[in-house]
């Protein structure tokens, strides 16, 4: 082993326990000394070098030792040497091999640097992301790291590249990026260098390598999971090789994007650059030249010829002045090839520099069109204000008061005031005396609230008054102090007078509606009342205000309500009106009858919105009709009394004979049980016969029910037969009934239809007896047709004179001798059939008259 030269490298004298006794050599000044005295050699070394110095110094002798020392510079001092005996202790002789190791690392790293740079420079744009990821993966393998992330600075944030698609090891990545924004760019940074970074990374292995251009870091490479950080110079070189091509390509893309964006913007604005050398032709932006129909280079004559003739001389003068150093700013017109199209306006601007002119051309056609439209609109507005019944005014604020400064030209036509008249200077003097409090409140409101809207009367030059709608706003300065009032007077005399006339008309209408004896109301299709006048409220036993929102159907029975709603559903925009007689159950009254007329109001789609209705009380008329019907019933019963008594007398005779025969048998002792039972059953049958006849007379003589009910029409025929058959038989008239196969139902009152049939049969009987027909008969039959049925009453009396067909249903008309008939039978019958929705008609058949009762069928569905 060669002899040690103390002046070279680093020498450490140790005792047997490896404690450092003395240091020597040029490298001694680089070492970071331990804090405590009597430190061992291990305290001078990086931790990974402790594995080299296992055991006691005697164990290290004869072995080459590679040791890394802590330095005051922050990086490790790489040494190689050996241990030899020296007097009572040991001397460790070491030499700096950092340059040798660095050169070896550079030799291993140069191929990687060339490969990364070449791959990133030569790959296409579509493969840039994939290539960057592959190079990061190669670099991660070179550094033996778990993951790498590259962060490139760009406008508004960072762009990220990762070595793989796997999740970054630390979840708080956002805070890490925020920390990097605030981190000054310097050399390689480890986690242990910053407590905040250590907390973000959860004490994991991480180091960061910056790439700096200027004062700020343009990129960071974050290396996770590496066993140890690479040398700083090598790490910076790798990051520079990786980052510079990406930054160049990104900036080139940004410049291209900006250029495309600028070109698009110029095309949208119709703008472009131009340049005119001291001696040469005018050069134009290619896109601008194409839009003008010119070449990229044109002469002065070609350029002036392309302009509007009126703009050629101003353009020539402006160019000459620009050559003398003045700024060029001129609006010129370029005619469109289409003679009907408007010319194109261009703003020509530029500046001379060194005998050369440069500038831009901007299409301002839209701006010029807007200026023309604004000028036209301003002219129309001024003309409209001058001709309209409105006056624009301005009042200046001074010393707490408002002083008139300006009026539009419409002041004189409207009020006849001159702009310098006393009324114009002090309009409050022309306010109607009754409206002066409003004028004073208007001024106070303006100063207090900043705006006002009111109405008052102003006197014109002829002494007449105009209603003026005044809308004004107070303008203030930056300090909030009042400056002036801008307002508008609008003549609303006609509208105000029309509103007054409308109010008076509404008042008259209200009085008419409220004081009318008729019942007037409005309601929705579901019968919810919207309005009802006082007569309606009085009839319904409530106050008018209580009607709003009430259900009109609460005073109707279920059947009446359903019929009411069906009638409303039948209303259409073409047939919006209907009327009917309705029956109501009013408080304190048994029943009330109203004649009700409806008019529907519809929307544009034909939907019924509401109904307006007028009604009148028809209760007394209805009761009179009922009394008339009841009187007619009683008259019919009186007329049929003889036949009815005979009909009752027959069962009495049968019972009397049965009782007499039974008594004789009992007296002679020959009455056996069977004989007695037979006689008692005969008596029972005759009692039932008489009882049925009496019950029918009682039901027939009773007043009709209020509500209509469904019943079989033929049942009324049977009821009439029960009352008439015996009387007809006694007078020699045969009653022929042809019962139908099916019993059809109608809606109404059975006793009233029975009364109609009795009247028709009695009239037929009288005609037969008057004409003394040899074999008189009356026939009744039923016929169905469509949605209705007919009951036909026919006789063989020879018929009725056709000239009397239209009159026989008139009240008090009769062909019978005086004192024999009242002339009300057929009239009452006609009214009954009409109320049931049918009709009663007469015709002559082969042998006599045929009276037809036609009724609508009642559907049970």
3-state secondary structure of 388: coil
Structure tokens at 194: 């910053």
The sign of the CA dihedral 561, 567, 572, 575 is negative
Q: How far apart, in whole angstroms, are the C-alpha atoms of residue 845 and residue 175?
A: 112
Q: What is the pLDDT of residues 824-860, one digit of tens each?
A: 567 777 778 888 888 888 888 888 889 899 999 987 6
Select the highest-mean-pLDDT range: 8-22, 330-344, 450-464, 687-701.
450-464
Which of the four CATH numbers 3.30.450.20, 1.10.10.60, 3.40.640.10, 3.50.50.60 does domain 10-96 have? 3.30.450.20
Residue 451 confidence (pLDDT): 92
Mean pLDDT score of the chain: 78
* Longest CA span, the chain: 186
Which of the four CATH numbers 3.20.20.80, 3.30.450.20, 1.10.10.10, 3.30.1280.10 does domain 389-498 have? 3.30.450.20
Q: pLDDT tier at 5 (50, 70, 90 boundaries)?
A: very low
Choose between 391 and 323: higher pLDDT.
391
Residue 2 confidence (pLDDT): 42
Residue 643 confidence (pLDDT): 53
Contact present, 496 and 502 (Cβ < 8 Å): no
- Considering only the top CATH level, what class is 516-611? alpha beta
Does 13 have pLDDT greater than 80? yes
3-state secondary structure of 739: coil
Burial label, 829 (beta-carbon count in 10 A; 0-12, 13-18, 19+):
buried
Residue 3 confidence (pLDDT): 45
Q: pLDDT tier at 502 (50, 70, 90 boundaries)?
A: confident
Q: Between 825-835 and 750-771, two packed helices, what is the crossing angle to 10 degrees?
A: 150
Paired with 262 in beta bridges are: none
Domain 115-259 has CATH 3.30.450.40: yes
Residue 810 confidence (pLDDT): 66
Q: How far apart, in whole angstroms, are the C-alpha atoms of residue 78 and residue 231?
A: 12
Q: How far apart, in whole angstroms, are the C-alpha atoms of residue 315 and residue 318?
A: 5
The sign of the CA dihedral 385, 386, 387, 391 is positive
Contact present, 535 and 516 (Cβ < 8 Å): yes
Q: pLDDT tier at 781 (50, 70, 90 boundaries)?
A: very high
All structural domains of the chain with their residue ranges? 10-96, 115-259, 270-370, 389-498, 516-611, 618-703, 709-861
Q: 618-703: which CATH topology?
A: Helix Hairpins (1.10.287)
Q: What is the pLDDT of residues 265-295, one digit of tens each?
A: 666 666 777 888 877 788 888 877 777 788 8
The closest of 332, 334, 354, 353 to 343, measured between CA atoms, is 334
pLDDT > 70 fraction of the chain, expressed in percent and rounded = 77
Strands 592-602 and 577-584: antiparallel
Q: How far apart, in whole angstroms, are the C-alpha atoms of residue 77 and residue 236?
A: 19
Does 140 have pLDDT greater than 70? yes
Question: What does CATH list as the number for 270-370?
Answer: 3.30.450.20
DSSP, residue by residue, 189-236: EEGGG-HHHHHHTTT--EEEEEEEETTEEEEEEEEES-SSPPPHHHHH
Q: What is the pLDDT of residues 395-439, one digit of tens each?
A: 999 888 889 888 888 888 888 898 888 888 889 999 999 999 999
Q: What is the pLDDT of residues 599-637, one digit of tens each?
A: 999 988 889 989 988 888 777 767 766 666 666 666 565
Cα 244 from chain centroid?
A: 56
Choose between 525 and 510: higher pLDDT.
525
Q: Give the range among 229-233, 339-343, 346-350, 463-467 with minimum mean pLDDT.
A: 229-233
3-state secondary structure of 299: coil
Q: How far apart, in whole angstroms, are the C-alpha atoms of residue 135 and residue 219?
A: 16
Q: Do the domains at 618-703 and 709-861 have one common CATH topology?
A: no
Look up the CATH architecture of domain 709-861.
2-Layer Sandwich (3.30)
Choose between 810 and 572: higher pLDDT.
572
Q: pLDDT tier at 242 (50, 70, 90 boundaries)?
A: confident
Does 203 have pLDDT greater than 50? no
pTM: 0.33
Cβ neighbours of 137 (radius 10 Å): 15
Average pLDDT over residues 800-811: 70
């Amino acid at each position: 082993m060669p002899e040690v030269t103390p002046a070279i490298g680093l020498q450490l004298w140790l005792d047997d326990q490896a404690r450092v006794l003395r240091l020597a050599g040029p490298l001694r000044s680089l070492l970071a000394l331990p804090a405590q005295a009597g430190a061992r050699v291990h305290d001078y070394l990086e931790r990974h070098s402790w594995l080299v110095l296992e055991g006691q110094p005697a164990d290290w002798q004869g072995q080459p030792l590679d040791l890394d020392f802590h330095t005051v510079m922050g990086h490790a001092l790489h040494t190689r040497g050996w241990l030899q005996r020296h007097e009572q202790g040991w001397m460790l002789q070491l030499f700096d091999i950092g340059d040798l190791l660095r050169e070896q690392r550079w030799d291993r790293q140069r191929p990687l640097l060339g490969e990364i740079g070449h791959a990133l420079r030569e790959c296409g744009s579509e493969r840039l992301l994939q290539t960057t990821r592959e190079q990061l993966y190669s670099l991660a393998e070179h550094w033996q790291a778990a993951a790498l992330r590259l962060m490139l600075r760009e406008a508004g944030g960072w762009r990220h590249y990762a070595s793989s698609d796997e999740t970054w090891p630390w979840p708080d990545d956002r805070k890490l990026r925020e920390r990097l924004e605030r981190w000054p760019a310097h050399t390689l940074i480890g986690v242990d260098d910053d407590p905040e970074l250590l907390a973000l990374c959860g004490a994991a292995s991480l180091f960061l390598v910056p790439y700096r251009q200027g004062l700020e870091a343009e990129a960071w490479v974050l290396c996770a999971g590496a066993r140890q950080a690479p040398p700083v110079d090598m790490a910076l070189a790798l990051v520079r090789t990786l980052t510079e091509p990406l930054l160049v390509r990104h900036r080139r893309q940004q410049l291209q994007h900006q250029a495309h964006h600028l070109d698009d913007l110029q095309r949208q604005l119709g703008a472009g650059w131009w340049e005119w050398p001291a001696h040469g032709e005018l050069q134009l932006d290619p896109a601008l030249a194409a839009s003008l129909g010119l070449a990229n280079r044109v002469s002065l004559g070609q350029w002036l010829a392309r302009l509007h003739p009126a703009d050629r001389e101003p353009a020539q003068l402006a160019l000459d002045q620009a050559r003398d150093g003045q700024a060029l700013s001129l609006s010129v017109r370029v005619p469109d090839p289409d003679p009907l199209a408007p010319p194109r306006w261009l703003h020509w601007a530029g500046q001379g520099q060194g005998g050369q002119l440069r500038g831009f051309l901007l299409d301002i056609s839209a701006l010029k069109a807007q200026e023309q439209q604004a000028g036209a609109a301003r002219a129309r507005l001024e003309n409209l204000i001058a001709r309209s019944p409105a006056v624009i005014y301005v009042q200046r604020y001074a010393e707490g008061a408002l002083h008139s400064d300006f009026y539009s030209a419409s002041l004189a036509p409207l009020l006849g005031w001159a702009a310098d008249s006393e009324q114009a200077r002090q309009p409050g003097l022309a306010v109607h005396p009754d409206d002066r409090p409003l004028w004073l409140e208007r001024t106070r409101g303006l100063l207090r609230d900043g705006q006002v809207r009111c109405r008052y009367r102003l006197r014109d030059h002829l002494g007449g008054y105009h209603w003026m709608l005044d809308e004004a706003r107070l303008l203030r300065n930056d300090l909030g102090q009042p400056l002036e009032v801008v307002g508008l007077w609008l003549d609303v005399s006609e509208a105000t007078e029309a509103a007054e006339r409308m109010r008076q008309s509404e008042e008259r209408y209200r009085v008419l509606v409220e004081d009318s004896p008729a019942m007037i109301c409005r309601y929705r299709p579901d019968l919810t009342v919207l309005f009802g006048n006082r007569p309606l409220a009085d009839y319904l036993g409530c106050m008018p205000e209580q009607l709003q929102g009430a259900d009109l159907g609460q005073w109707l029975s279920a059947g009446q309500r359903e019929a009411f709603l069906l009638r409303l559903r039948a209303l259409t925009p073409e047939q919006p009106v209907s009327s009917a007689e309705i029956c109501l159950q009013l408080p304190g009254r048994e029943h009330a009858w109203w004649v009700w007329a409806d008019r529907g109001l519809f929307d544009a789609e034909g939907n019924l919105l509401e109904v307006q209705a007028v009604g009148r009380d028809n209760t007394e008329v209805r009761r009179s009709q009922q009394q008339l019907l009841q009187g007619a019933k009683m008259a019919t019963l009186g007329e049929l009394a003889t036949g009815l008594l005979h009909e009752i007398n027959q069962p009495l005779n049968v019972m009397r004979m049965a009782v007499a025969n039974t008594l004789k048998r009992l007296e002679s002792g020959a009455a056996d049980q069977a004989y007695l039972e037979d006689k008692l059953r005969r008596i029972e049958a005759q009692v039932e016969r008489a009882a049925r006849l009496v019950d029918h007379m009682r039901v027939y003589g009773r007043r009709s029910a209020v509500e209509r009910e469904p019943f079989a029409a033929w049942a009324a025929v049977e009821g009439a037969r029960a009352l008439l058959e015996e009387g007809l038989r006694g007078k020699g008239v045969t009653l022929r009934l042809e019962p139908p196969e099916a019993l059809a139902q109608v809606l109404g009152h059975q006793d009233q239809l029975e009364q109609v049939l009795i009247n028709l049969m009695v009239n037929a009987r009288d005609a037969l007896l008057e004409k003394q027909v040899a074999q008189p008969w009356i026939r009744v039959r039923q016929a169905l047709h469509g949605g209705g049925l007919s009951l036909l009453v026919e006789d063989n009396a020879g018929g009725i004179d056709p000239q009397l067909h239209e009159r026989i249903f008139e009240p008090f008309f009769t062909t019978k001798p005086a004192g024999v008939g009242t002339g009300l039978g057929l009239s009452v019958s006609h009214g009954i059939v009409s109320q049931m929705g049918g009709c009663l008609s007469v015709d002559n058949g082969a042998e006599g008259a045929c009276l037809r009762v036609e009724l609508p069928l009642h559907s049970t569905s």
